[in-house]
């Protein structure tokens, strides 16, 4: 089968100008065609057949040793299809590599379930994905043969480990053949010791005199044995050397004399022979060969664009017919043998030193018209023609790929070489996108504004309101929404999203379909901005469209991000368990398997932390908080920073560190527009800290400043008013808590407890019990412990009474000792209701445990004996004990000491 | 760091241009490429380039400063 160039599938760029990211190219998966002059060698084919007996086969040899053709010929002759992958372009990052390898397997009719997934980042692939792949391969009846050509180009060191892992796990289901110039980094010693490897090395690939004679005959050259022997000696049986010899000698009247000259010459072989071969070509052909050396592959039309002539078709067909160094890929496309291309490039630099940038420029221009973005970018960058590169990217609606998908690394590296010039709208858009991708909003907005101004001028001055301008404006709108989200400006996000909506009908629909990430990014950011504004319904509508979209690679990350946002909405509405399910689904989607692993950086981890706080699982909450913001992934936007601040504040509050909690709540600021719920929650944390520190008036004052309606503030205010003894005010506040149909247990439980506390204050014990019972019932399902811990000491006595005790036992307070099982082993000992001890009370308790007397403690802490007694009394009360030994024991049980 | 790389055969001036960062000197049947090398990555890059050009590396060593 010949290589196919389909019209949507751009072709690979040259290796030295490769933007690294390419869509999955069909030519990567095609077994290369053998030239007419290919010589099949039985001894090597037989050795390769042994490849089926060992899991791993390595064919390694020098450039031009004939490795690829050998394996390609062997593979093509097999009954079953071999999964073929050329790693030349695929192997730069392990994510890209595995994306290509999965595709290669599918193209070889290996049935793989969709559950395996696709890597979403160029430089990362999840272990779970590899485990699933190996699992499916190991279940096969017959092994799939996977051949990876140019394996030495797969430079990411993780690839070797991952291949080793999959090969081991897949067992009999997979046979791997690596064609490479250098020994692969797999643990070959282990394979050798286990006799699990077949190796074909340079010496074995070398042509014997007999084979050399056959090869030369195929090239139309017959020589006596002596001469063959001398030639094999000089070339050391190197396939490329022999072929070049045949080419060079064929034009000579007396090949034998010519070859004698070659044998005597001491120039390096390829160097000498290639110069000879080149010298023999007519000037137009020489010129063509030199110019084409900058291309990884070429069609006659592209070649004509580089020469400015029209003879490329004829010349290339002729060259292909007469030698193996111009290879035909099918559908009108050719390429040079890599060795030949390398040497030609050296010649180009010597003969036409200043031509290279111009050639790249012309190639970029031609390729852009033919719709091949990757190659266009590669050549435009090589020509230092950033205007064209940026234009191509923006025109293609591919600017979203700077933020997400397999090409992010490639594009970021490519455009990192762009200097401050030129300043066209497109280059500024690319610069803005790169700044925003690094969350550098200020510089990003600067570039974006400049691009917008230029675009406004353009649309006024000319009639060119065509799709090109629409694409640039749509890109603008995307960046605008991105910036609006990063600065917390919902209004700007909405306006830009409306503009984008209008523009999306003015750009070619096909382009939009090719770049699903563009609209997905826009909608994700819009949803995030709406959530920040507290418009949960509208936010949910936007986020759901992305979260429900398919799991394609370019939008996989966005889907997770949207799920994280949806989880946050659930949490804020009081549905802790729902929020947890969604946030955990992000972990599952990301493939980072096995609970209790966190989904990694991002909002989903923050939501899990928040849910853990509601359950008073503080260590877990802290672990999730740590996972949410590591050094590599700083929290991107005000929303994530606000959630991080308030969850941190609540953890600190639960640990009794009120001062740090106040500081954490203080850090939440920093957005263009204040978020109502973020402000309310932050105030609630601060108020709770003041209340715990005995400053209820301060709490009342803070909460009074918040706009009404947020349950979290009302509940806090009720407790604060009760603490200052204004029962009437508390009752008044309670009446303002409106029953909200969509509120979940985390809200309703807290409200019920606040009502219960008020009922207790006015002496309505029956109502109080009924409310506490309802709160316990609702909270039990979701194990919401912290509302009860926050409620205060009044609750403790109640929980010891029947029937409330029964409702609380087992999850909130320790369960009854059951006969026969005196010590039920529980993973997480249930936390009893204890009001946090103050720092001073702890100090005193610690000294009590050291058997110090009250006087000694007073002396040690530089306080009066009476103060110590006050602290001890207060600690007894909080621990619900009456004696010193009980206090120490209880404190130990609770891990307070 | 300075390195020298000894390859089999005499390189033509043209081919030597494929190593613009290095000087070269031709001796009997061999070519010596030498010059400053920034780091290991560049060193391996040079070796890979030798391989791409079909050169046999006979010896490679770090030279005293």
pLDDT at A87: 83
Q: Give the closest residue to A216 by CA, choosing from A181, A244, A179.
A: A244
Residue of B11, B14, B28 with shortest CB distance to A350: B14
Percent of chain A with pLDDT over 70: 89
With CA atoms as reference, report the closest residue to A647 among A568, A711, A581.
Answer: A568
For chain A, domain boundaries: 31-205, 207-280, 385-549, 839-893
Residue A238 to residue B15, Cβ atoms within 8 A: no
User: Which residue ranges form the domains of chain B, and what is each CATH number?
Assistant: 2-63 (3.30.70.1560)
List chain A residues with CB under 8 Å of B15: 268, 271, 343, 346
**Residues of A whose CB is below 8 A from B7:** 268
B residues 9-48 lying closer than 8 A (beta carbon) to A: 9-15, 17-18, 20, 28-29, 31, 48
Is there a common fold for A31-205 and A385-549? no
For residue B54, which residues of chain A lie inside 8 Å, CB to CB?
A: 62-64, 238, 240-241, 268-271, 339, 343
Q: pLDDT tens-digit profile of B6-65?
A: 999 888 888 888 898 899 999 888 999 999 999 988 998 899 889 888 888 999 999 887
More reliable by pLDDT, A253 or A387: A387
Q: What's the mean pLDDT in A250-273? A: 79
User: B58 in contact with A at a CB cutoff of 8 Å?
Assistant: no
Question: Which helix (H) or strand (E) is A327 found in, with range?
Answer: strand A326-330
- Kindly determine whether residue A268 and residue B14, on different chains, have CB atoms separated by under 8 Å: no
Q: Which two tokens stand for residue A75?
A: 């593979």
pLDDT given for residue A593 in this prediction: 34
Question: Is A350 close to B29, i.e. CB distance below 8 A?
Answer: no
**Which chain B residues are closer than 8 Å to A152 by Cβ?**
48
Q: Within a 13 Å sphere around the CA of A228, how many CA atoms are in the beta-carbon half?
A: 16
Share of chain A above pLDDT 90, in %: 30
Output the DSSP codes for A174-229: EEEEEEESS--SS-HHHHHHTT-EEEE-HHHHSPPHHHHHHHHHHTT----HHHHH
With CA atoms as reference, the chain A residue closest to B16 would be A346
Radius of gyration of chain B (CA): 11
User: What pLDDT is stored for residue A55 in this prediction?
Assistant: 94
B53–A339 CB contact, under 8 Å: yes
State ipTM: 0.82
How far A340 CA lies from chain B's nearest CA (Å)?
8
- Chain B residues close to A339, C-beta within 8 Å: 52-54
- Going A198 to A203 to A206 to A208, the CA torsion angle's sign is negative
CATH 1.25.40 assigned to domain A385-549? The reply is yes
Q: Which fold has domain A31-205?
A: Rossmann fold (3.40.50)
> How many whole angstroms separate alpha carbon A707 and alpha carbon A700?
13
Report residue B21 CA to chain centroid gap: 10
pLDDT band at A551 (very low <50, low <70, confident <90, very high): low
Render pLDDT for A68-109 as a digit per residue (tens, 0 to 9).
999 999 999 988 889 999 887 655 688 888 888 998 898 888
CB A90 within 8 A of CB A98: no
Which tens digits make up the pLDDT trace of A233-242? 888 888 888 8
Distance from CA of B18 to the nearest CA of A (A): 5
Q: Quick one: pLDDT band at residue A305, thresholds 50, 70, 90? A: very high
Nearest-CA distance B43 → chain A (Å) = 15
**Is the predicted pLDDT of residue A281 greater than 70, yes or no?**
yes
Q: Which residues of A touch B (CB under 8 A)?
A: 62-64, 152, 181-182, 238, 240-241, 266-272, 275, 338-339, 342-343, 345-347, 349-350
Helix (H) or strand (E) holding B30: strand B30-36
Which range has the worst mean pLDDT, A303-307, A624-628, A735-739, A786-790? Answer: A735-739
Contact call for A338 and B31, based on CB within 8 A? no
- Please give the pLDDT value at position A596: 34
Q: How many CB pairs under 8 A join A and B?
A: 73
For A338, the closest chain B residue by CA position comes to B52
Contacts of A490 (CB under 8 A, 6+ apart): A484, A529, A530, A532, A533, A535, A673
Mean pLDDT of chain A: 83
| A840 has pLDDT over 70 | yes
Which member of A181, A238, A347 has the closest CB to residue B14? A347
- Give, rounded to a whole angstrom, the gap between the first and last alpha carbons of chain B: 7
Instruction: Lowest mean pLDDT of A365-369, A442-446, A460-464, A688-692, name the range.
Output: A460-464
- CA nearest A152 in B: which residue? B48
pLDDT in tens, A581-613: 988 888 666 554 333 334 556 888 899 999 999
Q: Between chains, do A267 and B53 touch, taking CB under 8 Å as contact? A: no
Distances (CA, A) of A660 to A641, A685, A690, B27: 16, 11, 12, 74
Contacts B46 to A, Cβ<8 Å? none
Asked whether A486 and A439 are in contact (CB, 8 A), the reply is: yes
The topology (CATH level 3) of A839-893 is: Arc Repressor Mutant, subunit A (1.10.10)
- Contact (Cβ atoms closer than 8 angstroms) between residue A557 and residue A124: no
Residue A425 vs residues A379, A386, A468, A502: alpha-carbon distances, Å: 20, 12, 12, 20
Q: What DSSP state is assigned to residue B25?
A: E
Contacts of B50 in chain A (CB under 8 A): none
- Who has greater pLDDT, A794 or A11? A794
DSSP A514-582: H-HHHHHHHHHHHHHHHHHTT-HHHHHHHHHHHHTS---GGGHHHHHHHHHHHHHHHHHTT-HHHHHHH
Q: Find the CB nearest A339 among B7, B20, B54.
A: B54
Instruction: Looking at the complex, report in whole angstroms how far the Cα of residue A355 sits from the nearest Cα belonging to chain B.
Output: 15
- Phi, psi at B18, each rounded to 5°: -70, -10
Q: Which residues of chain A have a CB within 8 Å of the CB of B11?
A: 267-268, 271
pLDDT band for position A153 (cuts 50, 70, 90): confident
Query: Looking at chain B, how many residues does it have?
Result: 65
What's A611-666 look like in SS3? HHHHCCCHHHHHHHHHHHCCCCCCCCCHHHHHHHHHHHHHHHHHCCCHHHHHHHHH
Position with higher pLDDT, A449 vs A635:
A449
What pLDDT score was predicted for residue A529?
94
B14 and A275 within 8 Å at the Cβ level: the answer is yes
Pick A540 or A118 by higher pLDDT: A540
Ramachandran angles phi, psi of A654, nearest 5° = -65, -30
CA of B44, closest CA in chain A: separation in Å?
Answer: 11
Looking at the complex, does the CB of residue B64 fall below 8 Å from at least one CB of chain A? no
| A149 has a pLDDT exceeding 50 | yes
* Nearest residue, CB atoms, B55 vs list A182, A241, A268: A268
Whether residue A850 is predicted with pLDDT greater than 90 in this model: the reply is: no
């Amino acid at each position: 089968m010949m290589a196919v160039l389909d019209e949507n599938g751009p072709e690979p760029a040259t290796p030295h100008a490769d933007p690294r990211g390419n869509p999955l190219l069909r030519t990567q998966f095609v077994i290369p065609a053998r030239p007419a002059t290919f010589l099949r060698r039985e001894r090597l084919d037989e050795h390769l057949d042994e490849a089926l007996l060992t899991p791993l086969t390595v064919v390694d040899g020098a450039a031009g040793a004939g490795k690829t053709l050998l394996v390609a010929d062997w593979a093509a002759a097999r009954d079953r299809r071999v999964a073929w992958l050329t790693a030349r372009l695929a192997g730069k990052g392990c994510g890209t590599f595995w994306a290509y390898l999965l595709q290669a397997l599918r193209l070889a009719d290996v049935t793989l379930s969709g559950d395996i997934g696709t890597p979403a980042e160029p430089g990362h692939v999840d272990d779970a994905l590899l485990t699933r792949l190996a699992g499916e391969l190991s279940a096969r009846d017959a092994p799939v043969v996977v051949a990876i050509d140019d394996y030495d180009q797969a430079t990411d060191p993780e690839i070797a480990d991952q291949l080793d892992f999959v090969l081991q796990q897949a067992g009999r289901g997979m046979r791997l053949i690596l064609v490479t110039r250098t020994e692969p980094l797999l643990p070959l010693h282990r394979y050798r010791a286990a006799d699990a490897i077949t190796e074909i090395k340079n010496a074995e690939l070398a042509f014997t005199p007999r084979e050399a004679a056959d090869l030369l005959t195929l090239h139309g050259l017959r020589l006596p044995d002596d001469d063959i022997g001398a030639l094999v000696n000089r070339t050391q049986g190197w396939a490329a050397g022999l072929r070049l010899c045949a080419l060079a000698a064929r034009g000579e009247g007396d090949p034998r004399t010519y070859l004698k000259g070659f044998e005597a010459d001491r120039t390096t072989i390829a160097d000498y022979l290639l110069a000879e071969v080149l010298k023999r070509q007519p000037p137009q052909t020489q010129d063509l060969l030199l110019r084409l050396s900058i291309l990884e592959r070429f069609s006659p039309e592209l070649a004509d664009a580089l020469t400015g002539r029209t003879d490329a078709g004829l010349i290339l067909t002729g060259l292909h017919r007469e030698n193996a160094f111009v290879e035909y890929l099918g559908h009108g496309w050719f390429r040079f043998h890599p060795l030949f291309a390398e040497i030609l490039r050296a010649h180009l630099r010597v003969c036409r030193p200043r031509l290279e940038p111009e050639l790249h420029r012309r190639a970029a221009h031609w390729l852009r018209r033919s719709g091949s973005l990757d190659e266009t970018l590669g050549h435009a960058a090589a020509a230092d023609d950033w205007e064209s590169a940026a234009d191509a990217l923006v025109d293609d609606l591919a600017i979203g790929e700077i933020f997400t998908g397999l090409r992010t690394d490639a594009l970021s590296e490519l455009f990192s070489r762009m200097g401050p010039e030129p300043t066209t709208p497109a280059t500024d858009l690319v610069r803005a996108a790169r700044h925003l991708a690094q969350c550098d909003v200020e510089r990003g907005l600067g570039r974006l504004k400049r691009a917008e101004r230029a675009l406004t001028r353009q649309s006024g001055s000319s009639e060119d309101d065509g799709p090109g301008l629409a694409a640039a404006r749509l890109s603008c709108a995307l960046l605008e929404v991105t910036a609006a989200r990063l600065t917390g400006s919902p209004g700007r996000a909405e306006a830009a999203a409306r503009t984008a909506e209008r523009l999306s009908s003015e750009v070619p629909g096909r382009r939009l379909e090719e770049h699903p990430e563009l609209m997905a990014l826009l909608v994700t950011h819009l949803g995030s901005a709406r959530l920040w504004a507290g418009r949960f319904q509208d936010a949910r509508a936007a986020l759901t469209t992305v979260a429900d979209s398919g799991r394609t690679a370019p939008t996989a990350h966005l889907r997770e991000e949207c799920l994280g946002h949806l989880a946050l909405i659930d949490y804020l509405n009081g549905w802790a368990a729902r929020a947890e399910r969604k946030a955990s689904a992000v972990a599952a989607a990301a493939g980072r398997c096995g609970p209790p692993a966190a989904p990694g950086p991002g909002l989903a981890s923050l939501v899990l932390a928040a849910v853990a706080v509601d359950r008073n699982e503080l260590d877990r909450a802290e672990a999730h908080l740590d996972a949410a913001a590591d050094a590599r992934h700083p929290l991107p936007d005000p929303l994530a920073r606000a959630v991080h601040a308030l969850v941190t504040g609540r953890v600190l509050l639960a640990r009794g560190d009120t001062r740090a909690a106040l500081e954490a709540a203080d850090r939440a600021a920093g957005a263009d527009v204040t978020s109502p719920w973020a402000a309310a929650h932050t105030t609630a944390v601060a108020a709770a800290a003041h209340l715990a520190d005995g400053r209820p008036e301060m709490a009342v004052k803070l909460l009074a400043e918040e706009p009404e309606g947020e349950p979290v503030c009302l509940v806090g205010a009720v407790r604060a008013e009760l603490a200052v003894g204004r029962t009437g005010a508390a009752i008044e506040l309670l009446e303002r808590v409106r029953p909200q149909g969509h509120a979940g247990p985390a809200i309703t439980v807290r409200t019920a407890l606040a009502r219960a506390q008020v009922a207790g204050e006015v002496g309505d014990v029956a109502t109080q019990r009924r409310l506490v019972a309802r709160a316990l019932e609702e909270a039990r399902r979701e194990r919401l412990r912290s509302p009860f811990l926050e409620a205060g000491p009044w609750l403790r006595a109640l929980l010891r009474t029947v029937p409330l005790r029964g409702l609380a036992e087992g999850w909130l307070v320790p369960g009854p000792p059951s006969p026969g099982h005196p010590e039920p082993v529980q993973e997480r000992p249930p936390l009893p209701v204890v009001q946090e001890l103050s720092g001073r009370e702890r100090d005193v308790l610690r000294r009590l445990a050291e058997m110090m007397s009250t006087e000694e403690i007073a002396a040690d802490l530089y306080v009066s004996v009476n103060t110590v007694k006050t602290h001890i009394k207060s600690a007894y009360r909080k621990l619900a004990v009456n004696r010193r030994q009980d206090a120490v024991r209880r404190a130990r049980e609770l891990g307070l000491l | 760091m300075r390195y020298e790389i000894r390859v089999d055969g005499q390189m033509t001036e043209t081919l030597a241009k494929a190593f613009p960062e290095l000087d070269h000197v031709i001796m009997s049947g061999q070519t010596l490429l030498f010059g400053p090398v920034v780091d290991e990555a560049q060193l391996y890059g040079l070796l890979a380039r030798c391989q791409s050009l079909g050169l046999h590396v006979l010896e490679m060593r770090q030279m005293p400063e």
